[in-house]
Amino acid sequence: MNAEPLPPPGTCAAALSAIEADPLAPGAAAESHMKTCTACSEARVFFLAQEDSPEALAPAGYFERLPGRILRKLPARPALRHRLGPLGWAAAAALLMAVGAGAFLAGRANRTPYVEATLPAQPGLLETSTADTPFHNHEEEASQVQSLSPEEMKALLERLNSAPAPTR
């Protein structure tokens, strides 16, 4: 296969060179050739489409004045302070104070809970739970007994002998 494009015929080459020179007025010979050759007339359209046209520039200060022009087109609305007189502001303040005072007093009225959950005291359960604590260091209790005076030791032994043995 041949990778190079085929050269155009002689009449097409002459018309294309005239179109490249001036796509708007290529000449009478090129005009008559383009009436019969669609490839050359499409080439002229492509050249005309590629013509550089200057970009339309915005006037100086256009974008700076744009927000003001848009705001002028919007309907005018009076401000809230003009529509609401001093009597209206006083009524709004009184209503706000009344709602605040009512909420404060309603909060003070409901200080006690509706339902109180209470558990019956079980002293036996509490004594066994503290005595049977796992990984409890009993050396602290023994050090307290060793620091007692002889009179305090006798009183402790008498109290232990008179107390009934706990049942498990």
| Tens-digit pLDDT profile for residues 13-39 | 899 899 888 888 888 998 999 899 998
Q: Which residues of the chain have pLDDT under 50?
A: none
State which H helix or E strand residue 155 sits in. Answer: helix 150-162
Surface-to-core class of residue 19, CB atoms within 10 Å of its CB (0-12 exposed, 13-18 middle, 19+ buried) = buried
Please give the pLDDT value at position 100: 93
Please give the pLDDT value at position 98: 96
Please give the pLDDT value at position 168: 60
* One-letter identity of residue 21: A
Q: How far apart are CA 110 and CA 76, in angstroms?
A: 50
Please give the pLDDT value at position 127: 52
Please give the pLDDT value at position 49: 82
Please give the pLDDT value at position 91: 93
Please give the pLDDT value at position 5: 77
pTM above 0.95, yes or no: no
Both structure tokens of 53 = 């046209």
Report the sign of the C-alpha dihedral through residues 146, 147, 151, 153, in that order: negative
